[in-house]
Structure 1
Amino acid sequence: MKYPTVSVNGVSVRVDDEGRYSLNDLHAAAVANGEATESQRPSVFLRSAQIKRFVKALKSKALKSASEQNQPLKVIKGGDQSGAWGIELLAIRYAAWIKPEFEIEVYEVFRTVVRLGISAMSRLNKIDHIINTETKAISQCASQMAKWGVGGRKKILLSARERVVDEVQMYLPGIN
């Protein structure tokens, strides 16, 4: 599944293949807008006892849920994807830890993404409905055409027409 990249304060926040957001990118977005300091990096946030309990609760919930098998937090050291990656709930919690106004901004960005997704899903459903309706109509037409075609109703009607033409000629000679 491909997850949408979001933009906060003009900074693109990456999303991994499991739908976790880069907390480091969120930090960069907050710093870019003067809402965070270097001391509010994700690593400091994740060392908090309260956040450790929160992540533990998220993991516990994830294990109970059959549909959600991804870990809510992933920390990668080194490489292209280095940094802290968290699910949406953890990303919002991080934004709140930075500054309430930043939390509201991040929450609204995520809400907009959901609304756009629902709108796109609605359009997809409408298109699927049109395709299904037209497929059914075309299928019925094809069925009627098959009944009409060679050896079908057309042949019967043409034979009946020829008999009536012969009958007309018999009663009204000279009329075609």
Structure 2
Amino acid sequence: MLTISNSTIGMKDGLYSLNDLHRASGSNKKHKPANFMRLENTKSLISEIERCSDMSNGAKSIAYNTVQGGNSQQGTFVCRELVYSYAMWISPRFQLLVIRAFDAIANQQTALSQRLNDLCHDLKIVDDGLTSAGRFLCVGGKQIKPQLKQQIDSTLKQMQPSLNFVGDTDSEK
């Protein structure tokens, strides 16, 4: 989630709300999203973004989407590149806030990715240990335990005093 100047920037289909960015920038009338979208520079950037496709899957890049009416979130939603461009259009201060907000997200993602890798590594170690323990328990239950019981029984039998009766027998009478 993107937060700038304590304002949450809404998202829709991977695009950021230009209207929320306008509010975060101070809501100056001259910086309305419609004014930004009319700029020749913005139109050229949109054309370039939409002309370039994602080479990994051949999908066309969507630079912006305007949602009007209906029950869904309304406004103009733009890609990250247009967020940067809008921030540059507003002011150097707002541009820096936007850059730092995206950097914070990237740093958080990096930290979470490292944490996930560490947790997966720990899980593998525990899983390997449990697999070894399971094998040992299986072998122990099928082989070692019966052998030990047999040795205990044998030892108990050896420990029993033997009583040899020497007494009257028919041959002695």
TM-score bracket, normalised by the shorter chain, equals 0.7 to 0.9
Contact 2:50 2:60 in 1 (8 A): no
The partner residue of 1:77 within 68, 85, 91 is 68
Distance 2:156 2:54 in 1: 83
Distance 1:114 1:136 in 2: 33
Contact 1:62 1:72 in 2 (8 A): no
Cα 1:144–1:96 shift into 2, 3 Å:
same
Structure 2 residues without counterparts, runs of 5 or longer: 162-173
Name segments (4+ residues, structure 1) moved above 6 Å. none
Q: Does 1:132 align with 2:127?
A: no
Q: Does 1:23 align with 2:14?
A: no
Structure 1 residues without counterparts, runs of 5 or longer: none
Q: Alpha-carbon deviations, 1:119-148, whole Å to 9, x = none?
A: 112112211111111011011101110111
The partner residue of 1:121 within 113, 122, 125 is 113
Aligned residues: 160
TM (norm. structure 1) is: 0.80
- Residue 71 of structure 1 aligns to a residue in which SS? coil
- Residue 65 of structure 2 aligns to a residue in which SS? strand
Structure 1 segment 158-173 matched on structure 2, within 5 A: 158-163=149-154, 165=155, 169=158
Q: Alpha-carbon deviations, 1:92-113, whole Å to 9, x = none?
A: 1111111121111111011101
Cα 1:113–1:46 shift into 2, 3 Å:
same
2:166 corresponding residue in structure 1? none
**Percent of aligned pairs with the same amino acid:** 22
2:165 corresponding residue in structure 1? none
Provide the aligned C-alpha RMSD in A.
2.2
Deviation at 1:162, TM superposition (A): 4.3
The partner residue of 1:62 within 38, 53, 56 is 53
